Amino acid sequence: MDDLRIRAAAPADLDAVLAFWKTAAEGTSITDDRDGTERLVARDPGALMLAERGGAVVGTVIAGFDGWRCHLYRLAVHPDQRRLGIGRALIAAAEERFVRLGGRRGDAMVLDRNERAHHAWRAAGYTPQGQWSRWVKRLDG
């Protein structure tokens, strides 16, 4: 793991990130496009975190903080790099970011059907919060 580097994404990384998500991420979002990721990086430059090995993206997490709550999205690890501690390292880096910003509790968006992710989040100390449901509405029409 000593050759693993975790850093904030820059605008120049976004095409590689979008391509990476097509390979490594479960599910998609309407914001999984160039415009959405550009807005994320412009608004909160430290939120999109990359794990790199040998100059290639091998993992991502979005660690968004709105000043009140800490939200984790898009934890993804390349299929050939799973079970090597990359997800754990990304979660730890995200949590360190939250603590620096004054955050007190993190929540993670995890697909119900993604059992592999459930194991990773449980191993990191997260638990499902059954009394809450996510409600969504598209705002673009």
- Which pLDDT does position 116 carry in this prediction? 87
Count of CA atoms in the C-beta half-sphere (13 A) of 21: 21
- Which pLDDT does position 76 carry in this prediction? 95
136, two tokens: 């969504």
- This prediction has a pTM of 0.91
- Which pLDDT does position 140 carry in this prediction? 75
- Which pLDDT does position 31 carry in this prediction? 76
Q: Measured between alpha carbons, how far is residue 66 from residues 44, 130, 131 in Å?
A: 9, 23, 22
- 32 class by beta-carbon count within 10 Å (0-12 exposed, 13-18 middle, 19+ buried): middle
Containing 77, the helix (H) or strand (E) segment is strand 70-77
- What is the rounded CA–CA span in Å between residue 2 and residue 4? 5
Contact 40, 28 (CB under 8 A): no
| pLDDT < 50: residue spans in the chain | none
Query: If we measure between CA atoms, which residue out of 35, 41, 31 comes closest to residue 10?
Result: 41
CA dihedral 94, 100, 103, 109 (to 10 degrees): -10
- Which pLDDT does position 141 carry in this prediction? 65
Query: Which CATH code, of 3.40.630.30, 3.20.20.80, 3.40.50.720, 3.20.20.60, is assigned to 4-123?
Result: 3.40.630.30
129, two tokens: 């919060």
- Which pLDDT does position 135 carry in this prediction? 80
